[in-house]
Structure formats: structure tokens, C-alpha cells
A and B are shown apart, each in its own frame.
Chain A
Amino acid sequence: MLASGLALIYGLRDVINFGHGALYMLGAYLGYTVAKVTGFWLALLIVPILLALVGVVFELLVLRPLKSRSHIEVALVTLGLGIILGQIIIFIYGGEARSIEAPAILSGSVTVLGLSYPVYRLFLILMGLGSCVSLAIWLRFTSSGLFVRAVSQDPSVARMMGINSDQLSLLVTSLSAAFAGIAGVLAGPYLSIDPGMDVVMIVDCLIIVVIGGTGSIAGAIIAALLFGFVQVAGSVFLPNVAALVPYVLLMVVLLIAPGGIGRGRVLS
């Protein structure tokens, strides 16, 4: 889900958002605060909206004024902003780990193909698949999705055809941030909410996005599945060097196909 958000913002805005991990961390901490008051389900609704507003601010105050700067410079600015946001979160919440309580309906385990499986993990898989499929449907079958793909492939021609790329950029950036918010809230009951959670996740997400072909949603989904597969396979067959396997995968893919699996800029 996080990688889809990253792929989306690169697809249209040409931005590798190193601050995406910090948005995810913000989503998790906001989720913790909101869930304490309203419960998990409302937090899952409210936090993405709050993060979408953060995305609007990010687009208007940062990305739009830096439109003429190089990709590398913008990527580094997002890195800096991510570090600042992470530090602000630590100032507010402190350094101790927290967690969000999962609703009762998602606790416990079910038996799948004879194996006991935690319900919350199944819920995560469904949410992840649902988000990616929704995103793919939006990009493929709606007019705004078509405009997003058009701007991504050729911004000049799209503008000549009367497409308002600024509005679409705003939509995409806020959607990308909302995805980070959903992922943050969903991580709350499953993972520890702590100050280092952004770095751990962003490195994995960047690997997935780059393997997928920066900007390709379909590539990001395939890459996420491949990433998960090699991680599990690595921990089973090469437990001593399992941590290295994703990096080896990244290097092998990029050396064979420098554009990544998708090679495209959006869903194609």
C-alpha cells in the first residue's frame, strides 16, 4: 500500500518521496491518538483524511514551488522534510513504543487450508489488495485516472488538450499521503509504533518502487509480491543472510532492467 502511494506520486509528479516513511509514521501516531478517542474504525477513516490535507499542504508549499528544480534536488528536499517531520513527532510523542488496539472482530485466528492464521493479518492482506485494485481501477477506468496517465506520459500535450495538471497533481499528492495514513493506522495493531518505523519501512518501499519501475503501479504491486516472496524464501532457505536478499534482488533487477519491472511511468 505504501509502495503504491510512492509509485503514484512518482508517476505523475516525478518525485521520489523520501518523506513518505515519515507520513506513514505520522499516520500511525495520529491513528494512535484518534483511536484512543474514537476507536479503530473511525481512526481508519479520519486519519487518511488528515493525511490527505497534509498532502495538499505538501503539494502547494513544497512540490509546486520546486517544479523547476531537478529530480535529485526535490528528492533530497523530501528527505529533509521527512527527517524534520520525524523529529517533530518524537518531540510530541516521545521515544517510547506504542500500539493501537485492534477491534474485537479482528482479533483471534481462523483456520485457512488447515493452518491457523491471525484474522488481523488476513484483514491486512484484504485491505492491501483492495487498495491496490481500487487504485488500478481508478487509473484504468475513470476519466480522472485517464488524465493522470496522460499527464504522466506527456505533460505538455496533456496541457495542450486542456487537462489541468496542477489540480491532478494536488489530487495525486493528497491521495499518496492518504495511502500512507491508511498504512500507518493499519500498522498500529500489528507493528510497534516507534520513532524508527519510518526508516525501516521507507527503505523497503523504495526498493519495491524502484524494482517495480519507478512510477508503475502494476510494477509496484508485482515488485511488492516478489519482495515478500524473496524475503520469506530468504528467511527459510538462507536464514543467515536473509537481510541481504532484498538488496541483492534490487541490484539484480536494476542491472538487468535499469527501468525496473514495469519500465513504464504509470499503470500500463
Chain B
Amino acid sequence: MSGRTSTSFRVPAAIVAGAILFGLGGVLPGYLASDFTLKLANEGMLLGLLALSVAFLMSEAGLVALGAASIYGGSGYLFAIAMNDWAMSPTAAIVFAFLAIIAYSGVLGALIVRTNPLAFMMLTLAAGEMISHVVMLEAVHDYTGGADGLVVSFKGTILGMQAADFASPQHFWPIGWTAVWLIGVTLWSVSRSKLGATLRAVRQNEERMRFSGFGTYVPRVVAYVLVNAVAAVSGLLHVLNTGFVSPESLGLGVSTNALVAALMGGTAGSIGPLAGGLIFAFAQDEFGARGATQLLTGVAIVLFIVVFPRGVVGGLVATVRRIVPGVDRKQGKS
């Protein structure tokens, strides 16, 4: 079989396999899993989505954002405030929260992507900590609820669905699963587009790209806004699922969990971080029962950076490529 024939066979086969996996993944857990297991899976899926945003920026732009939680929790707060205090409809509140986060990310990104990766990491941490402090300020207590957080007074429907539908693990799973797949495929496409190639080239050698006549600033701002849009979707889905948002959702702990999930699954590709989110959520439940949740986080960071830098999914893919001849093909991705 020629290379061309092989490729022309692979693409539809991958689409069919993906469609089957998407369908089974959306439906089967509702039949197979208990409500508790499905609730954990929902949490893992949303964490995986946040991890996907962290991982995309790491693998494509070589930048680590330690403030992902501020976007995740921030979108939840904006949605809750818009619903509770400004009497917006749920759909309008979602659109408002999402656009506000995009605007904030655009401004912040325009300011901070110029710095070196370590300074970038610190600036995202600082920006995240600032947001955490802002929601606790006495001046905005009536809006944010301070340390108590906010219960969303959900009035109306979104695409015909009530608050109870989002709160039910059985009903929420297919919604989240669909969103995760759409976002995963979108990011996968972006990583294979000109933007993805530019980002990776800038990550490898920014000066070379500038000398070659490429703009290195705008692509990184776009990437930063894009990953924050993903984090915002994750936060909005979370607040729809739980009907509650608290200062903990903005904290460094959530950002660290997303980072760990990304490292666990593998930062390259879309499936790794999502799988990492699911693995981390179930592992955290086990460790939490023994009072050692933080130990899991620390051990996972060290283990997956030092011993398994490709993560679970990346490691499995590499193993399959070694074992199965012909699968190890050029990816067009550096």
C-alpha cells in the first residue's frame, strides 16, 4: 500500500473511530456508572478541560500559566453575579461572562506575553492571586459573598434545560462530554494550523523567528486568549453543574491541580490532559480518603516530570509506535 493510499485510509478511519468513541463516551457512562462515580467523572472531565488549556500553552508556546484558576473561577463568579444581581437570563449571563473573560485575557495577555517564561509564570500567578483577593474585598462582598461564596439563583433555561438537568450527573455528562470533544478537536486543529506551527517555532527560538520576518507577539497573545477561553468554558460548565462558586475555585490549588492533570496525562495533544483530569479526580478521591490529597499532587508533579515526562497517554502512544511497525509516521509537529 502506498503512503498516499495509507494516509487516505487513515483519515476517514480516524474520523469513524473518533465518532464511535464520542458516541460511546457520551452515552455509556450513564448506564454503567453510579451517580457518585459519574459525579467524580464530571469533576475529572472539567479539570481535564482546564488542564487542556494549561497543556496547550505549555506544549505549543512553552509557557506555564499558574493563574488558570482565576479564569476558571472568575467566569463562574461573573456568571453568578450576572444571574443573581443583574437578573440576566442564563444564556445572556454565559455570553457576558465569556466575553468579559476574553476581554480581560486580551488585555492581560497583551501585557505579559512579552516577558520571559519564568516572569510570565510569576505574572500569571500574581494576576490570579489578585483576583482571589478582589472577591474577598469588603467593598464587593454583597456581590461575591466573600469567603462564603455564591449560590447561583438559576432562573430560566439554557437550550431548554433547567438547573436540575445540569445538576444531575447523568444529564450533565453528555453535555460536558460534547463540549470537551468540540474544544479538543478545535485545539487539535489549531495546533496543526499555521498558528500552531508559528507558536512552536517561537517557543524553540524566538530570535530566529523575528529575524525570519515573523511576528512573535500576536500569535502568543492569541494563544493566551484561546486557552483562557477554554478555561472559561470549563469554569462556566462547573458553575452550571454545581450551582455554586467559591473563593477556593480561584485559588492556586485549582491551578496546581490542572497542571498536575496535564502532566499526568501528557501535555502534547488533546486526549492526554483530558485523561489526566479523569485520572487525577479519581486518584484524588482515593488519596483524600486517607488525608493525603496534597501528597498525590506533589508526588505526581515530580514523578511525571522526572520519570514520565510524556504522561500516561503520551507514554502509551510512544509504546504503541515502537511496537506496531508503520504507525511511527511523521506528525508534522515539532
Contacts and interface: CB of A to CB of B under 8 A. Distances in A.
Interface in B60-105: 62, 64
Nearest to B116: A258
* Chain A binding surface, main DSSP class: helix
A56 to B, nearest CB: 19
Contacts of A71: 117-118
A81 B298 contact: yes
A240 B297 CA distance: 34
A80 B298 contact: yes
B56 to A, nearest CB: 15
A44 interface: no
Contacts of B331: none
Nearest to B253: A199
Interface in B268-309: 292, 294-295, 297-302, 305-306, 309
B305 A73 contact: yes
B297 A80 contact: yes
A214 interface: yes
Contacts of A247: 126-127, 129-130, 133
A214 B118 contact: yes
Interface residues of A, number: 35
A72 B133 CA distance: 26
Contacts of A210: 118-119, 122
Contacts of B133: 243-244, 247
A169 to B, nearest CB: 18
B111 A72 contact: no
A250 interface: yes
Contacts of A16: 118
Nearest to A242: B133
Contact of B298 (A73, A87, A214, A255): A87
Contact of A251 (B127, B137, B292, B302): B127
B126 A82 contact: no
Interface in B118-139: 118-119, 121-123, 125-127, 129-130, 133-134, 136-139
Interface residues of B, number: 40
A268 B167 CA distance: 59
B321 to A, nearest CB: 23
A84 B121 contact: no
Interface in A69-83: 69, 71-73, 75-77, 79-83
Nearest to A258: B115
Contact of A240 (B116, B139, B252): B139
A80 B126 contact: no
Contacts of A87: 292, 294-295, 298
B259 A76 contact: yes
Interface string B201-238: 00000000000000000000000000000000000000
20 contacts: A72-B62, A73-B305, A73-B309, A76-B64, A77-B301, A77-B305, A80-B297, A80-B301, A81-B302, A83-B295, A84-B302, A87-B294, A87-B298, A210-B118, A210-B122, A240-B137, A247-B133, A250-B123, A251-B111, A251-B127
